A and B are shown apart, each in its own frame.
Chain A
Amino acid sequence: MPDNNILEMRQIEIQFPGVKALDKVDFSLRAGEIHSLLGENGAGKSTLIKCLTGVHHKDGGTIILNGREIQPQSPQNAIELGISTVYQEVNLCPNLTVAENIFVGRQPMKFGQIDWRTINSRARELMRRFHLDIDVSRPLSYYSTAVQQMVSIARAVDIQAKILILDEPTSSLDDNEVKLLFQVMRDLRAEGMGIIFITHFLDQVYAVSDRLTILRNGHLVGTYNIEDISKVELVTQMVGKDMDTIFNLKRVDVDKDAPYVLTASHIGIPGQVEDISINLRKGELMGFAGLLGSGRTETAEMLFGATKTANGEIELNGKKTEIRKPYDALMHGMAFCPEDRKVDGIIGDLSIRENIALAVQARRGFMHPLSRKEQNDLADKYIKALGIATPDAEKKIGELSGGNQQKVILARWMATDPNVLILDEPTRGIDIGAKAEIQRLMLEMCEKGVSVIFISSELDEIIRCSNRIVVMRDREKVAETDGANCTQEKILAIIAEGAQGAGGTKS
Chain B
Amino acid sequence: MKQRLNLSVLMRSKVTWAVVAEVLILIVCLIVRPDFFSISYQPSTGMLYGNLIDIVNRSSEITIIAMGMTLVIALGGTDLSVGALVAVAGAIALKFLRWDVTVYNTPGDYTVYPFFLVLVVPLLVCIVMGLFNGFLIARWDMQPIIATLILMVCGRGIAQILTNGKQFTTGYSPFRVIGQGSFLFLPMPIIITAVVVILVSLFVRKTAFGTFVESVGINRKASRLSGINAQLIIFIVFALTGFLSGISGLIYSSRIMSNDSNNAGLNFEMDAILAVVIGGTSMTGGKFSLLGTVLGSIIIRTIVTLVYYFGIASEATMAFKAVIIAVVIVLQSEPVRNYFSKRAASRAKLANGGVK
Contact = CB atoms under 8 A, between A and B. Distances in A.
B226 A326 contact: yes
Contacts of B233: 366
B219 A346 contact: yes
Contacts of A344: 219, 221-222, 225
B207 interface: yes
B175 interface: no
A366 B209 contact: yes
Interface in A320-363: 325-327, 329-331, 336, 338, 343-350, 354, 358-359, 361-363
A327 B223 CA distance: 10
B207 A349 contact: no
B134 interface: no
B214 A366 contact: no
A359 B226 contact: yes
Contacts of B261: none
Interface of A: 304, 306, 325-327, 329-331, 336, 338, 343-350, 354, 358-359, 361-364, 366-370, 412
Counting chain B residues whose Cβ lies within 8 A of the other chain, the interface size class is 20 to 34
B225 A369 contact: no
Given A366-B209, A369-B206, A338 B215 contact: no
B226 A370 contact: no
Given A358-B226, A362-B226, 9 more contacts: A325-B229, A338-B225, A344-B219, A347-B218, A348-B218, A349-B286, A361-B208, A363-B227, A412-B226
A350 B215 contact: yes
A379 B218 CA distance: 20
Q: Is the contact region of chain A dominated by helix, strand, or loop, or is it mixed?
A: helix
A178 to B, nearest CB: 32
Contacts of A367: 207-208
B287 interface: yes
Contact of B208 (A348, A349, A370, A412): A370
A462 B23 CA distance: 63
B228 A362 contact: yes
A368 B212 CA distance: 12
Interface in B269-313: 286-287
B224 interface: yes
A350 B286 CA distance: 8
B212 A366 contact: yes
Greatest chain A CB density within 10 A among B206, B207, B211, B224 is at B211
A252 B287 CA distance: 43
Contacts of A363: 227
A362 B233 CA distance: 12
A349 B214 contact: yes
A368 B219 CA distance: 22
Contacts of B222: 338, 343-347
Contacts of A369: 206-208
A94 to B, nearest CB: 24
Contact of A362 (B214, B227, B287): B227
A326 B225 contact: yes
